[in-house]
Amino acid sequence: MHDALPMISIVTPCLNRSQFIEEAIQSVAQQDYPHVEHIVVDGGSTDGTLEILGRYHHLRVISEPDDGLYDALNKGIRLARGEIIGQVNSDDFYANYILSTVARRFLDDPELDAVCGGATAFGENSEGKRVTIADYQKPHHKELSFYNITRGVPIINARFFRRRVYERVGLYDTRYRIAADRDFLLRVALAGAKSGNLGCPVYHYRQHPGSLSISGQSVQRRKILSEHLSLAERYLHTDGVPSKIRRYCRFWHTREAMAGVVLALRETRYLEAVRYGMRVWRYDRC
């Protein structure tokens, strides 16, 4: 009976995550779906992460140097044997009992290229209790829309894709250390992929100082702004991009540049504020 079910491959990029990796592993191992492979692509951890991974014999573990998060994800996707592919970060975890729902949604509609469920972001208060920071459960949060990809929250870890999507649009562009998920989703949306929504929470993002995208730190925020601006400018410079996409990218670019102005002024980095302002002036008519 298991052979009739599509295999789901879950890819986890990892580097020195001994504090969190076990919860990520267990959130996959304790799912209600029998046909799962979990691939962990480790970048050469030295903090005890590999010892933890070694206790879980069902994992497919690769440990070797890589060029960051998205290079690791690309390695895992290339190795994946599943018809359906998802990704869980080493510091996050899946909700309980969701993989059977994911598989059923794909089985019910063979034309679906992707599905997306709800996501939450959480942190810890001074007492160590988990507190929800953001909640993305409404139907519009889950759409594969240009608004969500650019100006909204892409919640890519709450999304699952058929293998054919990667074959059609390619893998992550490793030039982007943070925004490669938005670039990938833009390519998926531009390819006309059909995406469906799941009426349940799927994913839990953890905010902590080492988080790549939701650490809350000013330095990380500046890196995110820089990549978002570069990605938007790339699409604004590219010939043949549909006018609708150019419009979204222009709005996104203006918003991120103005956020950079405000952040720089708040931190008394006046020359940087001027540079952000010049980027707005340069691209607001593209």
- pLDDT tens for 219-254 read 888 999 999 999 999 999 888 888 888 999 999 999
What is the pLDDT, as a whole number, of residue 239?
Answer: 87
Distance CA 207, CA 210 (A): 8
d(CA 206, CA 157): 12
The closest of 220, 204, 202 to 132, measured between CA atoms, is: 204
Averaged confidence pLDDT in the chain: 93
Higher pLDDT, 151 or 39: 39
Q: How confident is the model at residue 262 (pLDDT cuts 50, 70, 90)?
A: very high
Structure tokens at 205: 């993002």
Structure tokens at 281: 């002036």
- Whether the per-residue pLDDT at 3 is higher than 70: the answer is no
Q: Name which residue leads in pLDDT, 286 or 22.
A: 22
Kindly state the average pLDDT of the residues 54-81: 96
Give the residue among 17, 64, 67, 57 at the shortest CA–CA distance from 37: 57
Q: What confidence score (pLDDT) does residue 254 get?
A: 94
Domains by residue range for the chain, with CATH: 2-206 (3.90.550.10), 218-283 (no CATH)
In this prediction, residue 285 carries a pLDDT of 59
Query: pLDDT tens for residues 173-223?
Result: 999 999 999 999 999 999 999 999 999 999 999 987 766 655 456 788 899
- Please list the alpha-helical segments (H only) found in the chain: 21-29, 49-54, 69-79, 99-108, 139-142, 146-150, 163-169, 180-190, 218-237, 243-266, 270-283
Residue 185, pLDDT score: 97
User: What does DSSP say about strands 114-124 and 130-136: parallel, antiparallel, or unpaired?
Assistant: antiparallel
Instruction: Specify whether the CB–CB gap between 158 and 205 falls below 8 A.
Output: no
User: Does residue 14 carry a pLDDT above 70?
Assistant: yes
Give me the pLDDT at residue 1, please: 45
Question: Cβ-count burial of 14 within 10 angstroms (0-12 exposed, 13-18 middle, 19+ buried)?
Answer: buried
d(C-alpha 31, C-alpha 29), whole Å: 6
Written as six digits, the tokens of 238 are: 């590219």
- Angle at 123 (CA atoms; ends 121, 127), nearest 5 degrees: 150
The tokens describing 42, both together, are: 């480790």
Once rounded to an integer, what is the mean pLDDT over residues 114-137? 92
**Contacts (Cβ under 8 Å, ≥6 apart) of 240:** none
